[in-house]
Chains A and B, each alone.
Chain A
Amino acid sequence: MTEANIVLEAKNITKQFPGVLASDNVNFDLRKGEIHALLGENGAGKSTLMNLIYGLHLPDKGEIFVNGKPIEIKSPNDSIAAGIGMVHQHFMLIPVFTVAENVMLGDEVTKRGSLDRVTVAAKINEISKQYGLDVDPNALVGDLPVGLQQRVEIVKTLYRNAEIVILDEPTAVLTPQEAEDLFRIMRDLTARGVSIIFITHKLKEVLAVADRITVMRAGRVINTVQPSETNEAQLANMMVGRQVILTVEKKDHAASGDILKVEGLSARDQRDLETVHNVSFTVRGGEVLGIAGVQGNGQTELSEALTGLRAPTGGKVTMDGIDLTGKSPRVMTEAGLAHIPEDRQRHGLVLSYSVADNMALCDYYRPPFSSRGVIQQKALDENARKLIDAFDVRTPSPFVNAGKLSGGNQQKVIVARELSRHNVKLVIANQPTRGLDVGSIEYIHSEIIKMRDRGVAVLLISAELDEVMALSDRIAVMYRGQIVAVVDSKKATREQLGLWMAGAHVETTQA
């Protein structure tokens, strides 16, 4: 490889946030037409490095070169002009606008004073065809599934002639099929000379698609390796700095009586369509029931109906014999529910509250956090210190706003809060490890198993089949709003589960 091949180079980049050195003299380069994966534990500084390159933050020190020329990036306008595009994990799209309107936003094409949708649509169609993106310029963004919304973001970068595309954890919210499609698109892009920086926590993906892999830890680059000369265990080791056990250790454990009993539950989504039909199952104390299924088959509505965030339209839910159908979240948590919500920033956190306040978000009104209606800040802080320690939340202090933590550390704040609640009988965990690094996943898995061994009932909803298979004692498969199969996890095979998830007809086998 010659120097000429390097399209982007970041030299000696340093960025200090209050209490955190997020980028410590980082050197990073990207070659033309390659997929360069960026790995690292939560809070390692991956997003920060990308935000520095994209112009969302300004570095304290360091230089950025594009095609060998030094450029000054003060805002995203500068980086876009230099041919850099970035797709954030959650998209900056306006749901009530069409794809074409979203794509031209900020760079509007007008014809005699009004928006020229025709020209834009034609250009989108061209890009879409060229890279096999299959995006309809006239569709309303709000109606599109996440996978397609992400492609709209990719179109947006290409529309602005990006030759360097940054993808920050693009696969965290995708179904396996959507992720496969994304990888195909990434390869198409690189074949045409586009260069890609790809951030993920999934080691399998890295080994499958990356040309080079750079690992970061605590704001520093640890190493850059070739996928052919490494493996999952070694990568995990480099990321975390210790041996990571990639399989869950789980002893056999006898389940006790029914804790959660769901009978004939139905629920509707925002559009008033029934997405959960007549679902029945039980979770016993001391067992993990995993719900497998392709995302969008009613898991969201099911978990919301079980946790008080959504009123069920039919059926009955009891916990330990107490009827909780349609009760409020407060009644449910008082009865012993701990809930790790699917959307951490929508439900799980108040981003402008401190970590300490967030760690008491559901219990602020109880002693020791309050006494006679007065918040006891000391107790809140003490609790936060304990949990930050126990769950290894990377934060400079308990007083920092939750919004300032890295994505994975935000998730850890929620998991720590919920698993440490005082009266837990039932844990409902929806995508508990989304966006977490391997080390944190290992820890949270072991915590969930510990809960189970203590006799707590666990309902695990996850888009990761591996996670469901590793943790569950029994696995239920959800398809089009129904539980189509329940099996003992020891007897379950990936292939069989995959078939059920895809809708292959089955006689419900009760395990």
Chain B
Amino acid sequence: MQEEKQSNSLIKQILQTISDNSLVPFLAILTAVVVGGVIIAFVGGNPILAYRGLIEGSFGSTKALSETAVWATPYIFAGLAVALAFKGGLFNIGAEGQLAVGAVASSLIGYALPEWLGYDLPAIIHLPLAVLFGVLMGGLWAAIVGWLKAYTGGHEVINTIMMNYIALNTTSFLLNGVMKDRSPTNVIARTPLIADSARIPPIFDGLRVHWGFILALLVAFGIWWLLNKTTVGFQIRTVGLNPDAAKYAGINVKRIIILTMALSGMLAGLAGTIEVTGLNYRHELGFSIGYGYDAIAIALLGKSHPLGVVLSAFLFAAMRNGATRMQFLTQMPVDLISMIQAFILLFVAADAIVRYIYRIKSKGERVVLTRGWGG
């Protein structure tokens, strides 16, 4: 047939897919911003000033940019964790717990390994060890849920929530006990500082943004490649889209469910690990409150596409980072940001509202609900 036309329209198709998929999230953000502005005005604030503060605070200076990237780093990893699970048909609400497990594990290696060994390690060995251990423990933690799902049918939503409680309370127990920083002045539940050899260096002197941010971008690309170009990704997507067809195709569905959860947990664990090795240099109770939950919103807003996840992680990071400046300029509480984020999520999830407001015809003109022979 008309081959050239075909390949030409393929590029068009790809562009079409991108614009199709980003239209609703974009309009959801716009709507949330407008609604947020109305609310600011309603409580007597100046919305323009508030949003100016938000933008200045997140992009206004090199320091602001660096801080936005610092916030974005764990968001990208955790968002990818949730997105990958979505692709495999699993809802991982447990990123928060997996992240904590990863942080505890890598901080342990970070401060305790040299003590145990009795000598210092070179960074080239110590840092990868600390990161890998955190990643593995996060993966293992999530794999338990995958195993329960595959072999007992226990639902991952329930089990990841349960595992969150176990992880967070165990962390608290450890940080108040054996892993507590024993320096005489310390009263906080936190570990000692990790050794210099286990720290990720900053990219620029004087700014906090570190190489973990670059790693996050590389990992996002890697996940895209894994999902779309490899046989493992093919299996994950097939199980996610149609488990019956996956079984028919000879895919070991149970194994893929466990693998998907494990990979998802590894990414979440990486979020925690990178915060310890790149930013805080220790694990402190409560450092991440909410990363794992924001990650769900980020994955949804990014339509579970790695590129979408990176972009929405940036948006969330900018809002978190700019909030202080906004508060300074307008005396609007920082919580307002959480509210706008919640609106974004609401409009993305209930995309019918957005489509209605902007009169967008739903694409594919509503695919028939049936699985008909007659099609």
> A residues bordering B, Cβ < 8 Å?
18-19, 46-47, 51, 56-58, 88-92, 168-169, 172-173, 199, 309, 328-330, 333, 339, 341, 344-353, 357, 361-362, 364-365, 370, 373-375, 397, 399, 403, 405-408, 410-411, 434-435
Contact = CB atoms under 8 A, between A and B. Distances in A.
A163 B97 CA distance: 59
B232 interface: yes
A46 B374 CA distance: 9
Given A330-B252, A348-B248, A375 B371 contact: no
B249 A329 contact: yes
B43 interface: no
B184 interface: no
Q: Top 3 closest A-B pairs, CB basis?
A: A330-B250, A89-B372, A407-B375
Contacts, number: 116
Given A88-B370, A90-B372, A374 B230 contact: yes
Interface stretch (B74-82, B98-106, B189-197, B361-369): B361-369
22 contacts: A19-B9, A47-B372, A47-B375, A88-B372, A89-B375, A309-B248, A329-B247, A333-B250, A346-B244, A346-B371, A347-B244, A347-B248, A352-B241, A362-B248, A364-B234, A364-B249, A365-B231, A374-B230, A374-B231, A375-B234, A399-B6, A406-B375
Contacts of A352: 241
B311 to A, nearest CB: 23
Contacts of A353: 238, 241
A309 B371 contact: no
Given A309-B248, A329-B248, A51 B238 contact: no
B368 A56 contact: yes
A306 to B, nearest CB: 13
Contacts of B244: 346-347
A249 B87 CA distance: 47
Nearest to A405: B375
Given A330-B252, A348-B248, A168 B241 contact: no
Given A328-B252, A344-B373, A406-B375, A88 B368 contact: yes
Contacts of A172: 373-374
B242 interface: yes
B7 to A, nearest CB: 9
Interface in B201-251: 229-234, 238, 241-242, 244-245, 247-251
A408 B6 CA distance: 23
Contacts of A346: 242, 244-245, 371
A350 B371 CA distance: 12
A347 B250 CA distance: 11
Contacts of B229: 374-375
A353 B232 CA distance: 16
Interface in B165-212: none
A389 to B, nearest CB: 10
Nearest to A403: B367
A364 B235 CA distance: 9
A362 B238 CA distance: 11
